[in-house]
Structure 1
């Protein structure tokens, strides 16, 4: 399939898409604004707690957890809105409200007001992710969608690599509200980029009116499709490992290993493997297929996290080993996230917005709860983290095994032609 061709005959043929590189960059920054809102705050958590008279480290984690949960929940509502009114209007309104929410966070005078602002940030950022994924699904399908998502994720991963360092620079230049003020300025820039360069990808003929019966039919279609539903649930477990590290990293790296100002470097070192593997997935997925790559990565993902749990049980976790055992699963994530997303959304083109909302709720909202649970187990040691991510990895393997009826394609890396897309009503 031509990378610039519409995804199907029902897609508009006259859409004036920006060049592929610009398209990938714009979708990536729309999705990365969520990651930025999470990771840029990490170096400032202690300062925010002191400023707002909050000394309980586990309570301070709510700055991250409540954002992730509201981000996930918001997608359930906003997906149908995107299917009804189109992608551009929702994007532009959300970018404006995202800037307002950042302003409210910057001006928060107590901890509860900050949490309310973070909740508003999460809800508005949800619209950015729902619309960005739906636009990709509007334009591509199958392996081409997985390849595009890998390229998006490769650009996207530059944000979590750099965000903690950027956050540390900003709190070195001024008080912690400067972090949220900078995010508000960024949202204004992206607003102009979308307004000037991104066309509407959902023509009126393909829009779905919002009604209870329409939503019920859409949810029934998603839940009854074994492959789509199964890979959505598997994504919840897989991304739960990601959010476990994001939420727990501040306490583990600063309190247990006492790395101080080296935190952004350690965080980037762990996350860098994800960017590299997304690049390789974009190059390999068209030849070897989404299932072969993701199933192989999934078994390795489980093996490494179980080994980490064993090392934690015997009490051997020096800093270098903790870093290695945390970074290796992130390498596998680059082959899991884009492929699981494509496998879940590919059969659901008729309800792309609703499907991306459900997938987003599970892969961020549910995963955020998993991550918050693992992080909340923190007891002054890294052991609970190791046990928690091993449990989540086992859940992901169980879910994919159920989805594929026990027929995993792990380690079957043989070049094969693409298979036709599954029927949306399967």
Structure 2
């Protein structure tokens, strides 16, 4: 069932499936403190785990879902993952303790690890190199609309129906891509190109990945990029509400950041075919390092004060989203370009390693919040500087 979709519809489907992770993350942001309070959490930084545990599930789940998609095809694995996500969302809505909610969030992450991995492999099945980066960039442009509306939507749902209703909404909205995938999208991996699911096959793919210089360096770059983004998302509510005192308007500021960053995805799609993936990655990491260190130092030494603090943080946030958007699309494309024959497993390995390394960095980074986000801004600059230097050694050609 299904057929090869026209490019525009396939790009939108990819964007919707990518967006599920963003929706499941960003819709929770305004309600983290409320959830922690209702579940008797006393440590104000602990509700951040609602975000990071979910991301941990997406990272670990990819190690299984990727090889499964190489063995049984992309379509059934994406569908299975969405079903797991729907069931775990309904479970999360009925949790009465913080520990059980974290378990539900981890399972949610496991479910969405399927589309996270298999969809990337589907794009690689159909496109390669700069064209793949262009498709991902266009999808990311649509994906960027999610952070623009998800916090506002999540805030409204929580205030109107209570925070458990957010999870019910997530489960119901997931039916849309599930039905779309089942009835519209054809399988992109022919049976003759599938690889048996086995530990030996996974080890073989891992060995190929870890002996390929481009895959290794691109994965390291993704790890640093994800770490910056995950730390920011985990601490965003505290940064805007506690430090910058935006109160109820936090989702509106977040929407502005996301909408401006979304335009960057279109810019990346236009630029990547002209100047290439490597150059865009280098410019993004290098630029973020410089901007983060300048703004962080300005805040630290009192050179930026008053209303200028909010403006500076908004500018930094927008540039962070723009730069990381550029890096994600191009680093993924660079990592998968030489590995098309095992795209699902490689996407899983790259995704799992980069996500979990990022979480190891992001948790202590987000925990640095001490009433201001200055330390996080400076740490982000340091990570981006290291990522820039690492990317200089990334081979430009396969």
Query: Is structure 2 residue 193 aligned with structure 1 residue 202?
Result: no
* Structure 2 residue aligned with 1:343: 334
1:396 to 387, 394, 398: 387
* Structure 2 residue aligned with 1:7: none
Q: CA deviation at 1:251?
A: 0.9
Contact 1:278 1:334 in 2 (8 A): yes
Q: Provide the C-alpha distance between the structure 1 equivalents of 2:80 and 2:352, rounded to a whole number of angstroms.
A: 20
User: What's the TM-score, normalizing by structure 1?
Assistant: 0.89
**Where do 1:155-170 residues align within 5 Å?**
155-170=142-157
SS at match of 1:403: coil
Contact 2:65 2:114 in 1 (8 A): yes
Q: CA deviation at 1:399?
A: 1.8
Q: CA deviation at 1:313?
A: 3.0
Query: Is structure 2 residue 267 aligned with structure 1 residue 267?
Result: no
* Structure 1 residue aligned with 2:175: 188
Q: Provide the C-alpha distance between the structure 2 equivalents of 1:369 and 1:104, rounded to a whole number of angstroms.
A: 27
1:61 to 38, 48, 54: 48
SS at match of 1:331: helix
* Structure 1 residue aligned with 2:21: 34
Q: Provide the C-alpha distance between the structure 1 equivalents of 2:45 and 2:155, rounded to a whole number of angstroms.
A: 21
* Structure 2 residue aligned with 1:414: none
* Structure 1 residue aligned with 2:374: 383
Q: CA deviation at 1:351?
A: 1.2
1:105 to 81, 92, 106: 92
Q: Provide the C-alpha distance between the structure 1 equivalents of 2:362 and 2:346, rounded to a whole number of angstroms.
A: 23
User: What's the TM-score, normalizing by structure 2?
Assistant: 0.95
Segment drifting more, 143-152 vs 207-216: 207-216
Structure 1's consecutive aligned runs of 4 or more residues displaced over 6 angstroms after TM superposition are none
Gaps of 5+ in 2: none
Q: Provide the C-alpha distance between the structure 2 equivalents of 1:223 and 1:403, rounded to a whole number of angstroms.
A: 14
2:363 to 353, 365, 372: 372
Q: Deviations over 1:248-306 (max 9, x none)?
A: 11111111111111101111222333211110111121122212222222221221122
Q: Provide the C-alpha distance between the structure 2 equivalents of 1:153 and 1:192, rounded to a whole number of angstroms.
A: 21
Query: Is structure 2 residue 119 aligned with structure 1 residue 119?
Result: no
**Where do 1:139-178 residues align within 5 Å?**
139-178=126-165
Q: Provide the C-alpha distance between the structure 1 equivalents of 2:230 and 2:206, rounded to a whole number of angstroms.
A: 26
Gaps of 5+ in 1: 1-14, 410-418
Contact 2:3 2:184 in 1 (8 A): no
* Structure 2 residue aligned with 1:6: none
Contact 2:79 2:181 in 1 (8 A): yes
* Structure 2 residue aligned with 1:242: 229
For the aligned residue pairs, the C-alpha RMSD in angstroms reads: 1.6
Segment drifting more, 147-156 vs 304-313: 304-313
Segment drifting more, 316-325 vs 148-157: 316-325
Q: Provide the C-alpha distance between the structure 1 equivalents of 2:65 and 2:181, rounded to a whole number of angstroms.
A: 18
**Where do 1:326-337 residues align within 5 Å?**
326-337=317-328
SS at match of 2:174: helix
SS at match of 1:97: helix
* Structure 1 residue aligned with 2:281: 294
Segment drifting more, 124-133 vs 361-370: 361-370
Q: Provide the C-alpha distance between the structure 2 equivalents of 1:379 and 1:326, rounded to a whole number of angstroms.
A: 18
Q: Deviations over 1:125-161 (max 9, x none)?
A: 1011111101001000011101101001111111111
Contact 2:282 2:392 in 1 (8 A): no
* Structure 2 residue aligned with 1:354: 345
Q: Provide the C-alpha distance between the structure 2 equivalents of 1:30 and 1:203, rounded to a whole number of angstroms.
A: 21
Q: Provide the C-alpha distance between the structure 1 equivalents of 2:360 and 2:146, rounded to a whole number of angstroms.
A: 22
Equivalent residue pairs, number: 393
Contact 1:75 1:130 in 2 (8 A): yes
Query: Is structure 2 residue 128 aligned with structure 1 residue 137?
Result: no
* Structure 2 residue aligned with 1:321: 312
